[in-house]
């Protein structure tokens, strides 16, 4: 029972990070109808920047903020330089462009920081608190707290404000929203920048646990996209739930079967959802399946 409880605690902390990635996937898709396969690579870029800022002597909070802003800035450039010129092309073209961007990010990271794993400090202590035989670290509490403080207000903004309605409207009919004074290009850009912020946060939160390696973006993209598909691609609440469910499945698999099967569970869940219930748990849009 103690092992089960400890697994749940670990899954909650990991699920908060996966939820950040999944919400970013769904936010971009909800606005642009585009699956951004560079999302995980943008996430892993942030902790590398934070690592360099720490080496320059900056305080941890400043370094983390710098990494997150770097991810947002890269997402900004990616939308304006790479994707904006391709929006009139078939949807497969910008999707392949995001794959190319992911490869470029991995190559740049290897060139600048090297291919050897690096270590980034945690935002809080990893010295555990003992509560009823279970261990909870301050860092886990910080991870869950940051996720809640960022994602919950974002869900409210997207669901209730004019900006949120404009973003959703751009995905449904960009020509009609222009009649109401909404610029689809600006909404697309906003979704990518917000997605970059979420990805950057996820990256700096998970890096102290997994270490920094150039190929880490692929793993984050796989898990985050699987969580988004499970929740229903385009549904932000669904992405939040999907992140925690994926984390629970992965942790249970690693504890009770084998540590090497964790990523395979993410692939399996994604395949099963696409075969059995393409809308996921809370989604209502099957167009995403055609992109996959």
3-state DSSP helix/strand/coil % of the chain, to nearest 5: 75, 5, 20
What six digits make up the tokens of 50?
């934070």
Do residues 83 and 34 lie in contact, with contact meaning Cβ atoms separated by under 8 Å? yes
Which runs of consecutive H residues, i.e. helices, occur in 211-261? Answer: 216-231, 236-256
pLDDT at 91: 84
Q: 208: closest CA among 129, 114, 125?
A: 125
What's the CA gap between 121 and 184, in Å, rounded? 39
Q: 240: closest CA among 277, 202, 273?
A: 202
Please give the helix or strand (H or E) that residue 14 lies within, else none.
Answer: helix 2-32
Q: Quote the longest CA-to-CA distance of the chain.
A: 60
What's the CA gap between 221 and 36, in Å, rounded? 9
Residues linked to residue 131 through DSSP beta bridges, in sequence order: 134
What six digits make up the tokens of 213?
């390696």
Per-residue pLDDT tens, the chain, 292 aa: give them. 677 788 888 889 999 999 999 999 999 998 888 899 999 999 999 999 999 999 999 999 999 999 999 999 999 999 999 999 998 888 889 999 999 999 999 999 999 999 888 999 888 888 888 877 788 889 999 999 999 999 999 999 988 888 888 888 877 777 777 877 788 889 999 999 999 999 999 999 999 988 899 988 888 998 999 899 888 888 899 999 999 999 998 888 887 777 677 777 877 887 887 777 777 777 665 554 444 5
What six digits make up the tokens of 186?
């600006």
Contacts of 146 (CB under 8 A, 6+ apart): 16, 123, 201, 205
Contacts of 86 (CB under 8 A, 6+ apart): 93, 94, 97
Backbone φ and ψ of 115, nearest 5°: -95, -5
pLDDT at 284: 62
What's the CA gap between 56 and 66, in Å, rounded? 12
Q: Dump pLDDT digits (tens) for 26-39.
A: 999 988 888 999 99
Residues linked to residue 134 through DSSP beta bridges, in sequence order: 131
Q: 199: closest CA among 32, 59, 57, 78?
A: 78
Please give the helix or strand (H or E) that residue 27 lies within, else none.
Answer: helix 2-32
């Amino acid at each position: 029972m103690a092992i089960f409880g400890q697994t749940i605690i670990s899954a909650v902390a990991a699920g908060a990070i996966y939820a950040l990635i999944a919400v970013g996937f769904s936010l971009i898709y909800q606005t642009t109808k585009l699956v951004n396969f560079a999302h995980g690579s943008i996430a892993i870029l942030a902790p590398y920047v934070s690592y360099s800022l720490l080496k320059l002597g900056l305080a941890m909070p400043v370094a983390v903020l710098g990494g997150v802003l770097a991810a947002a800035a890269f997402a900004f450039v990616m939308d304006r330089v790479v994707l904006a010129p391709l929006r009139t092309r078939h949807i497969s073209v910008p999707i392949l462009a995001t794959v190319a961007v992911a490869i470029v990010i991995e190559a740049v990271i290897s060139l600048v920081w090297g291919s050897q794993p690096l270590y980034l400090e945690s935002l809080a202590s990893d010295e555990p608190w003992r509560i009823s035989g279970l261990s909870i670290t301050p860092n886990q509490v910080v991870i869950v707290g940051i996720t809640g403080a960022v994602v919950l207000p974002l869900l409210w903004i997207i669901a209730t404000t004019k900006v949120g309605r404009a973003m959703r409207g751009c995905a449904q009919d960009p020509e009609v929203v222009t009649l109401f004074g909404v610029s689809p290009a600006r909404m697309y850009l906003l979704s990518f920048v917000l997605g970059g912020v979420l990805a950057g946060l996820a990256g700096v939160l998970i890096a102290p646990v997994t270490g920094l390696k150039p190929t880490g973006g692929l793993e984050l993209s796989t898990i985050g996209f699987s969580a988004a598909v499970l929740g229903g691609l385009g549904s932000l609440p669904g992405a939040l739930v999907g992140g925690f469910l994926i984390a629970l499945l992965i942790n249970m698999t690693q504890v009770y079967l084998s540590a090497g099967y964790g990523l395979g569970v993410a692939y399996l869940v994604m395949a099963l959802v696409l075969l059995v219930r393409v809308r996921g748990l809370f989604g209502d849009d099957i167009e995403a399946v055609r992109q996959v």
